[in-house]
Amino acid sequence: MAIITLTTDLGYKDFYQAALKGSILSLAPNVTLVDITHDISAFNIPQAAFVLKNAFNYFPKGSVHLIGIDSVFNQDTRYLATRYKGHFFVGSDNGIFSLLFDEAPEEIVELNIMQDLKFLHFPLTDIFAKAACHLAKGGKLKEIGLPVEDLEEKMSLQPVIERNIIRGSVIYVDIFQNVITNITKDLFTRIQKNREFTLFFRRNESISQLSWHYNEVPEGEKLCLFGISNHLEIAINKGNASGLLGLNVGDIVRIEFYP
pTM of the entire predicted model: 0.91
DSSP 103: S
The answer to whether the CB of 223 falls within 8 A of the CB of 208 is no
The reported pLDDT for the residue numbered 17 is 93
The reported pLDDT for the residue numbered 118 is 58
Burial 164-173 (b: 16+ CB within 10 A, else e): eebebbbbbb
Instruction: Indicate the length of the chain as a whole number.
Output: 259
Q: Determine if the peptide bond prior to 259 is cis (ω within 30°).
A: yes
Per-residue pLDDT of the chain (259 residues; tens, 9 = 90+): 799 999 999 999 999 999 999 999 999 999 999 999 999 999 999 999 999 999 999 999 999 999 999 776 667 789 999 999 999 999 999 999 999 999 999 999 999 987 665 555 677 888 999 999 999 999 999 999 999 999 999 988 899 999 899 999 999 999 999 999 999 999 999 999 999 999 999 878 999 999 999 999 999 999 999 999 999 999 999 999 999 999 999 999 999 999 8
The reported pLDDT for the residue numbered 114 is 72
Instruction: At 241, give phi and psi (nearest 5°).
Output: -65, -45
The reported pLDDT for the residue numbered 116 is 64
Q: Which of these, 58, 42, 33, lies nearest to 10 by C-alpha position?
A: 42
Instruction: At 88, give phi and psi (nearest 5°).
Output: -110, 145
The reported pLDDT for the residue numbered 83 is 98
- The stretches of 85-151 forming alpha helices (DSSP H) are 96-100, 127-136
- Distance between CA atoms of residues 173 and 100, nearest Å: 18
Q: Which of these, 189, 172, 190, lies nearest to 181 by C-alpha position?
A: 172
Q: Spell out the domains of the chain, with CATH numbers in brackets.
A: 3-147 (3.40.50.10790), 160-258 (2.40.30.90)
